[in-house]
Amino acid sequence: MCGIAGFALPIAPSPDERAAFAARLRRMVASLRHRGPDALNGLVLPGIALGHARLSIVDPAGGHQPMRDAGTGVTLVFNGEIFNHPELREALAPGYRFRTASDTEVLLAAFLEHGIDCVDELNGQFAFAIHDPRDGSLWLGRDRFGKLPLFYVHDRDCFAFASEAKALFAGDVVRPRLDARALFETLHLWGPSEARSAFDGVRSLPPGCVARVRGGELTIRRYWELDLADERIDHGLTLDRAADEVEELLEDAVRLRLRADVPVAAYLSGGLDSSLLCAIAQDQLGGTLQTFSVAFAHERYDERAFQAGVAAALETEHHSIAVEAPDIGALLPQVVEHAEATLLRTAPAPLLKLSGLVRDHGTKVVLTGEGADEVFLGYDLFKETRIRQFWARRPESSVRPLLFGRLYPYLDVSRQSPQLLRQFFGIGLDEPGALDFSHRVRWTNSGRIARFLSPAFREHLEGWDPVAELLGSLPARIREWRPLARAQFLEIRTLLSQYLLSSQGDRMLMASSVEGRFPFLDHRLAELSARLPDSFKLGGLKEKLVLRRIARGRVPAQVTARTKFPYRAPIAEALTGPRAPTWARELLGRDAVDSLGIFDGSKVERFLARLAARAQAPSDADDMVLAAVASTQLLAHRFLGEREIPRAQADSVKVCFA
């Protein structure tokens, strides 16, 4: 993957303006160096400036960007991979003379042939900008699940875009200010809504969308969205036949994602999804796969025994890195700098360290199992939805709430009395048909973090409900879907694209210049999964039945028999106590919190004192409060102050004029 940036400019700028625009482009591209250290280039054209930081994966010798078609002047910058580029190349070859072996040129040729509707033919992960001087349009596009980021600023005087917000700040396109609504959304939904970023005025192109800028007007169109309607389910399928179809498509998804001119490795968590991917990849690579894992000192988070067992069984070249709580505290400033977001978890920190290990071994590309839980109903939230639906049919039952103790044995609340379980999980039980029924417990509990906001900050948000705004933005047809389908759609729309693929995915990988690839998020596989009966994915309270069927005989039996083990990392242990990092002592102090003005310093002070006085481990809710306050303080500390791109870094970007 790479980094892209650009902005609109006058058709005929003066020489001084051209020099100023080139300098701006250099700063923007230089700020994205971590995304693509192999080549830093820019091109200033009449009306547009386009920049690119390249991570060379396909056709390292060719495929340089920005790439321009000499005949039409159509020019693009592209971040990502088109995995089916050989097949598209063959189809386009009769009408286009290719000069390189890159997927970038395939995208260019596809646009020349089909216009922006070419996105329908792409199997990949991408964010791009295409300038078409024939009609003065600038097109932006983003892949179906939003694996890669694309931000923009649009107002009366300006249009600019970039892979990360920091490039827009480096170009002085917009002044960094935290967006109050985005923060409020994150405290409830774990991330801002799909069109918002953490920063005021910086918008995100939603997943599965294309945008056109022409004559100062911006229009956005969604070209793809997963359809989980009941009528799409193929009730004639047997589990065996479904497993055959999923296996065939999953193997093809892996095959496409092993296409590269550099070695491709894999993350191995020790769970079902990554183990199955590694097994398939090892078969297809003929036994040369490298695997990489995170191990924790605390057994509550650690899966090293399963990782070692899978690596030994598959005979991969395995590498592991150990992470302790102080490591996470030390890494969190760097995590927030790359994530550009408030976080309710510290789980991205170990993944940042892991991507560094991958890069240290000279590897640029890894497969990951991300997406399997959303596509094949792997999360506990889906089981929780099923239990709550079951409970809602007899809400007076004193036995049904006890099922949550089996579902969440690692949570304090699960060890509580039936009365407390009822109080905690019974939220919204009287509205089982509500659109947000599946997520109401999670969003209510995370939303309680907002009680720590300062009165002055909350005043700007009075009367505004982020959950209501989200639900109001969803397609009306979703209300007719079955409960699990609604839960699945909400999980994909919120947690997957706005947290897992961004803060915990792309940003932690690209911080070390490593590209992640996600076979379970091949859109063909997701569309096939939408045809399967729910019972093939979640049988009772057993998750991912169809994947377990495929994994039999491919991975150790103890893995196929495992229950989902949530990936988590220490929070309070990493940020408080005698081993707390210096920055946490400074930024979480009452004066520092009050000085920023987002959270209430006195409440945070009392909260930290209460944590310090506890004899037992903090609750999950307390951990979320701490992560939210700490990451927001870091976000402001990093981005709201003045920071310039060093002159030498900017000068390393080669800018041409045409």
Segment holding 220, helix H or strand E: strand 217-222
Rounded CA-CA distance 38/26 in Å is 15
Over the stretch 599-614, which tens digit does the pLDDT of each residue have?
999 999 999 999 999 8
- Ordered structural domains, the chain, with CATH: 2-191+198-224+647-657 (3.60.20.10), 233-376+506-561 (3.40.50.620), 571-640 (no CATH)
Alpha-carbon torsion 397, 401, 406, 412, what sign?
A: negative
Which pLDDT band holds residue 403 (cuts at 50, 70, 90)?
Answer: confident
Of 61, 192, 40, 77, which is closest to residue 513 (Cα–Cα)? 40
Rounded CA-CA distance 449/342 in Å is 12
DSSP 110-135: HHHHHGGGGGGG--EEEEEEEEETTT
Question: Structure tokens of 329?
Answer: 């505290």
**63 or 69: which leads in pLDDT:** 69
155 assigned binding-site residue: no
Angle between helices 620-639 and 180-189 (to 10 degrees): 160
103 assigned binding-site residue: yes
Average pLDDT over residues 548-553: 96
Of 139, 181, 212, which is closest to residue 469 (Cα–Cα)? 181
Annotated active-site residue 2? The verdict is yes
Average pLDDT value over all residues in the chain: 95
Tell me which of 302-316, 325-339, 409-423 is least confident.
409-423
Contacts (Cβ under 8 Å, ≥6 apart) of 382: 438, 484, 487, 488, 491, 538, 543
Sheet holding 75-82, edge to edge: 67-68, 75-82, 124-132, 137-142, 209-214, 217-222
Segment holding 517, helix H or strand E: strand 515-517
Average pLDDT over residues 444-455: 95
Task: Quote the radius of gyration of the chain (alpha carbons, Å).
Answer: 24
Three-class DSSP category at 22: helix
Which pLDDT band holds residue 416 (cuts at 50, 70, 90)?
Answer: low
Rounded CA-CA distance 433/266 in Å is 40
Over the stretch 4-43, which tens digit does the pLDDT of each residue have?
999 999 998 999 999 999 999 999 999 999 999 999 999 9
- pLDDT the model gives residue 564: 85
Which pLDDT band holds residue 133 (cuts at 50, 70, 90)?
Answer: very high
Over the stretch 561-584, which tens digit does the pLDDT of each residue have?
998 888 999 999 999 999 999 999
Contact by Cβ (8 Å): 325, 574? yes
- pLDDT the model gives residue 414: 63
- pLDDT the model gives residue 424: 87
Overall pTM > 0.85:
yes
Rounded CA-CA distance 632/638 in Å is 10
Q: Which listed residue (2, 118, 209, 278) is catalytic?
A: 2
Of 228, 270, 162, which is closest to residue 566 (Cα–Cα)? 270
Rounded CA-CA distance 41/66 in Å is 7
- pLDDT the model gives residue 413: 65
Over the stretch 203-240, which tens digit does the pLDDT of each residue have?
999 999 999 999 999 999 999 999 999 999 999 999 99
Rounded CA-CA distance 438/483 in Å is 7
Rounded CA-CA distance 1/511 in Å is 11
Question: Structure tokens of 625?
Answer: 């409060």
Q: How many residues does the chain have?
A: 658
Of 382, 316, 383, which is closest to residue 556 (Cα–Cα)? 316
Average pLDDT over residues 386-395: 95
Q: To which residue do tokens 């294309």 refer?
A: 210
- pLDDT the model gives residue 299: 87
Burial of 463 from C-beta contacts in 10 A (0-12 / 13-18 / 19+): exposed
Average pLDDT over residues 613-626: 90
Contact by Cβ (8 Å): 517, 80? no
Rounded CA-CA distance 511/149 in Å is 14
Rounded CA-CA distance 124/619 in Å is 40
What's phi and psi for 216, nearest 5 deg? 85, -5
Is residue 282 predicted with pLDDT exceeding 70?
yes
Rounded CA-CA distance 367/353 in Å is 17
Over the stretch 488-499, which tens digit does the pLDDT of each residue have?
999 999 999 999
